[in-house]
Amino acid sequence: MGRGETGPVVSKHDAVGSDARLSWLLAGVAGMVGAVAFLHSAGYFVTFMTGNTERAVVSWFKVSDTQKVAGAGALAAIALIAAFIVGVSAASYCRRRFWKHHPHGPTVLTTAGLLIAAAVDFVFHGFDDSEVRFVPVLIITAAIGALNTSFVKNGEVSVPLSYVTGTLVKFGQGVERHATGGGTVFDWLGYALVYVGFLLGAAVGSTLSSFLSGPQVILAAGLLCGATAVVTFVHSDRKAILG
């Protein structure tokens, strides 16, 4: 990917190639898990660290008599942020140390996290419990943090799967370049499809949540992520190893 006076030049392969198509699917997984965790918990964000950061600050302030105890949501938000960072750091370490030839190894870590979270809820709260409890939510948040390291270029994350704000910023920049003649449709198409993937994942998670329990949908997401990990190895990582 080069850089000229008009901004970064996005190739067709970068926008809609095999890695790009995989990013749409993984963004869908993130959206699905985020929707389920939000709907089946006390409104916790496992993908939205901006929201958790806001909550970590504003929850200390009581602005009305009807508001809950000041600071009650702050500690939960801080714990979620910490879990997310742990997931990112653990996956980043594994990429450098163990997954040099397995670029999408984080999907394995995410799969393990989702399955462990579902198992914890099954064991302690039952198969049909509608709510996903806080400890499993922390595990899920770490798993989403790991998922966000799936695409790395020059040592930095190139496609932040659950960072929708950043995706929309890049989409807007690409639209501007294309509209003013400084770019092509591929400058924004890939970001648009990542966004659509996240939206569709959230819709699927919300639909499943209407007739399945929280732990059951987390299990389904874990199995989907596991299948994705197999696909990435067969169609992407295996080529890197053999090539």
CB 1 within 8 A of CB 9: yes
Read off the pLDDT band of 135 (50, 70, 90): very high
Is the pLDDT at 3 greater than 60? The verdict is: no
Could you tell me if residue 242 is inside a domain?
no
Alpha carbon distance 106, 88 (integer Å): 9
Average pLDDT over residues 29-57: 90
Quote the pLDDT of residue 52.
92
- Predicted confidence (pLDDT) per residue in 122-131, tens digit: 888 777 777 8
Read off the pLDDT band of 95 (50, 70, 90): confident
- Predicted confidence (pLDDT) per residue in 179-191, tens digit: 998 889 999 999 9
Average pLDDT over residues 173-179: 93
Could you tell me if residue 6 is inside a domain?
no
Alpha carbon distance 10, 86 (integer Å): 31
Alpha carbon distance 169, 159 (integer Å): 13
Quote the pLDDT of residue 119.
93
Could you tell me if residue 2 is inside a domain?
no
The set of residues, in sequence order, having a beta carbon less than 8 Å from that of 193 and lying 6+ positions away, is 16, 20, 24
Helical pair 74-97 and 49-58, crossing angle rounded to 10 deg: 140
Read off the pLDDT band of 174 (50, 70, 90): very high
Dig out the tokens for 152 from the structure: 């790395």
The set of residues, in sequence order, having a beta carbon less than 8 Å from that of 241 and lying 6+ positions away, is 101, 102
CB 209 within 8 A of CB 217: yes
Could you tell me if residue 39 is inside a domain?
yes
Read off the pLDDT band of 211 (50, 70, 90): confident
Q: How many domains does the chain have?
A: 1
Domain that holds residue 217: 21-235
> What percent of the chain is modeled with pLDDT above 70?
86
CB 133 within 8 A of CB 79: no
- As a whole number of angstroms, the longest Cα–Cα distance in the chain is 64
Could you tell me if residue 241 is inside a domain?
no
Alpha carbon distance 49, 78 (integer Å): 10
Residue with tokens 């302690």: 124
What count of other Cβ atoms lies within 10 Å of the Cβ of residue 169?
12
> For position 115, which CATH number holds?
1.20.1250
Cα–Cα–Cα angle for 22, 23, 29, nearest 5°?
95
Quote the pLDDT of residue 4.
43
Instruction: Identify the weakest region by mean pLDDT among 56-60, 141-145, 151-155, 164-168.
Output: 151-155
Could you tell me if residue 137 is inside a domain?
yes
Could you tell me if residue 240 is inside a domain?
no
Average pLDDT over residues 191-206: 94
What count of other Cβ atoms lies within 10 Å of the Cβ of residue 53?
15
Quote the pLDDT of residue 1.
40
Could you tell me if residue 64 is inside a domain?
yes
Give 203-221 as a DSSP string. HHHHHHHTTS-HHHHHHHH
CB 136 within 8 A of CB 118: yes
Is the pLDDT at 2 greater than 70? The verdict is: no
Is the pLDDT at 67 greater than 70? The verdict is: no
Alpha carbon distance 99, 120 (integer Å): 27
Alpha carbon distance 88, 47 (integer Å): 12
Quote the pLDDT of residue 16.
74
Cα–Cα–Cα angle for 30, 33, 36, nearest 5°?
145
> What percent of the chain is modeled with pLDDT above 90?
42
DSSP percent split of the chain into helix, strand, coil, nearest 5? 65, 5, 30
Q: Enter the pTM of the model.
A: 0.87
